[in-house]
Amino acid sequence: MDYYIAIDQGTHATRALLYDQHGNQVDSKWTKVELERVKDGWIEQDSQELLDSVLGTTQRLLDSLTDEQRGSVRAAGIATQRSSVLLMDQHGNAVSPVLSWQDVRAADFLKTISHQHQVITSITGLPVSAHYGASKLRWLVDQHKPDKNNIMLTPLVSYYLFHLLGKKRFCVDHSNAQRTQLFDLDTMDWSPELLKLYGLEGYRLPECVPMVAEYGELLDTGIPFMASGGDQNAAVHGAGALPDDTALMNLGSGAFVMRRMQQRQSGNSLLTSVAYSDDASTSYLREGTVNGSGTALSWATKEWDLPDTREHLSDWCDEITQPPVFINAVGGLGSPWWRRDVKPQLLNQKSVSKAAKGVAVAESILFLLNTNLELMRRELPINRLRLSGGLSQQKAVCQKLANLSGLPLERVDNPEATARGIAWLAAGQPDGWQNIKMNTFTPQPDRDIRERYWKYFDFLRTLPPPSGSVPALVGHRGLMASYPENTLSSIAAAVGAGAPHIEFDVQMAADGELVVIHDDTTDRTCEEKGSVFSKTSLELTELSAHYPVKFKQAFHPEPIPLLTEVLDYLAGFPQVTAYVEIKEESMTRYGLDKVMDKLISDLSQHRAPFYVISFSYEAIHYVQKHSSFKTCWVLKKYDDQFRTMAEELQPDGLICNYKKVPDQPLWPGYWWWMLYDIKKPKRALQYHQLGADLIETADMTTMLMDEELNRGRLHGL
């Protein structure tokens, strides 16, 4: 019999487990570790205590093995809590406490680089957050002012690996490196641009290594150390490979929902994570994160003096049929909200029982998970849920989640998904480990929990923007106030001015190619007049769209660009999101299928982030059905009929002329809002307070020069 060792170092405990070649757990040892809440947002762990727990627990497991078992251990691996960091000297001694993944003390620093947030997200796949390691490492550097020659910036797993591996190797696996928010997903290495941005250039960082690799040997035992990963990245593999149509939810101190991605693409409010890497390949996950899971129940136990929730929660769920709605902001709202200014609170409840409060907190975890799940389901179908982690052992919680999501749910019988996953990777991913016992929960009609879910969702969606935040700006047809609209000059000028988002229009030419122009004629923007549909793309590109009525001959000649030309240009600016509006006139002329198939084909070759937008309901629905592209529907009216249609269509974004919108909060929903065409900064701020996430403007330069609009600029979507 072959055996494999998994080390699982979590927020509250360290475990060392032994698995046999069939994936059965044979033995385990564990050690409790402490978490210190220094003050609000400052959460630390003792570096030496954590290291002693890893080394001591692993040694205890090794000492408990028989000689036959010890000689048959073929590999080992480790999974750790992500985003926790410290400083370490060249001898492996910690020179700072561990700043926990929950720690957000460096949040203010991120405001100073807010103009670069979208750049950071495009490089790392992660929305900018103080939970990740980069800002915490910067804080440690500022506080300790370490010698660059002797001090190393250390993700938590690197601290353990340095002491676990016989040759004191300073390294980090790809999944943990990414969680520092200093890691480039294109190069799979540290980003010089981000190191400079965070002021961390010149410091020593660990060598980036695939999750599955020959790391060395475990504690000079001769046992090959073959795998390392973040706890949630490992949990995905806890029952072997996760099917493409299945989302995994792992409920520990924090909770996560993850699904495999068919191809890597930006996720905006959701995360792109490394699922697996070796020397030859890398695969990715779409991930949503909930900060308050087990930590929320611990918070509630202390805050409201509740009995032990692990013992009583299932009974409470059976007993309480109408719990209050709890806004679970414990540890800050994670995806897709990314806010720290919301306080944990019960809605509209003055006096409720302790049991009802406990159920409300448990449901709030499910509400947060379901919001992320719904966003994932827009990208690709999800037909089944798989649940793991400590809280998953509560049957009532599983049934509530199945009812809320409307999906059948498989609960992994063994809650140790993280340890089993890293053991499976270390073992070489054997086929037989998929045969794990699961309990199935079939969704039942439950109108009450859905109603509570929508109360929770509406509360969060209608919150005013964070204090001091401003909307993201979108260049309308480029920088059309100063350049001929929809031309490469106009688009380049908007990019040069610092626009994080660019909108432009697309029509189909006579030869079936797509060109960038707003009207279905050249009458307004060219000297030569005529129908776009009567000329080939080559003939159109030979015309000059220098807009002579507006700019005379200042920009002559200025060709009408092909869509592919604009996409090729924007590929050099991955920090810029494109909003590609396909015009209804082309669909009327050539038919919906022909135009949309061509658009999807051209966009499929484009790697930078983009959205397909249109006034056509049918066009947006077509894109949703035939691709995984993100979509925005442009409203012709802002009324009840269009709201109902939007709720049926469920686009990623809604766009509307600001003049059609009443002076009241915008419709809540899973979508975000863009309003056009706003030219005055004060008006942009006014509509941002009503819920507009993006403001489309013809005059990007004026907007970007406004002091109030740019004070504390956020990256938007």
Known active-site residue 518: yes
Return all residues near 298 (Cβ < 8 A) that are at least 6 apart. none
HEC per residue, 363-392 = HHHHHHHHHHHHHHHHHCCCCEEEEECHHH
Measure the CA–CA gap between 492 and 189, rounded to whole angstroms.
30
Count, in order, helices (H) and strands (E) of the chain: 26, 33
- Radius of gyration, alpha carbons of the chain: 27
Nearest alpha carbon to residue 95 among 24, 60, 146, 20: 146
Measured at the alpha carbon of residue 258, what is the angle toward residues 253 and 259, in degrees to the nearest 5? 165
Are 16 and 5 in contact by the 8 Å Cβ rule? The answer is: yes
Token pair 């995994």 is at which residue? Answer: 248
Q: Give the β-pairing of 73-80 and 224-230.
A: parallel
Q: Which DSSP letter does residue 22 get?
A: T
Whole-angstrom distance, CA of residue 487 vs CA of residue 507: 14
Query: CB-hemisphere CA count at 13 Å for 509?
Result: 18
Active-site pick, 131, 518, 546, 715: 518
Residue 125 CA, distance from chain mean position = 7
* Pairing, β 345-346 against β 212-217: unpaired
Phi, psi for 366 (deg, rounded to 5)? -70, -35
Residues forming beta bridges with residue 664, ordered by sequence position:
none
Sequence-distant (≥ 6) Cβ neighbours of residue 666 within 8 angstroms: 654, 673, 690, 691, 692
Of all residues in the chain, what percent are helix, strand and coil, respectively (each to 5)?
35, 25, 40
> Of 117, 131, 174, 476, which is the active-site residue?
476
Residue 617 is encoded by which pair of tokens? 């309901």
Quick one: tokens of 600?
């999807």
Q: How far apart are CA 314 and CA 311, in angstroms?
A: 8
| DSSP structure class, residue 38 | E
Distance CA 76, CA 474 (A): 50
Give the C-alpha distances (Å, rounded to integers) separating 267 from 132, 275, 609.
Answer: 17, 15, 9
Give the whole-angstrom CA distance, residue 488 versus residue 474.
16
Helix (H) or strand (E) holding 15: strand 13-20
Structure letter (DSSP) for residue 336: T
Q: Check if 12 is active-site.
A: no
Question: Known catalytic residues?
Answer: 476, 518
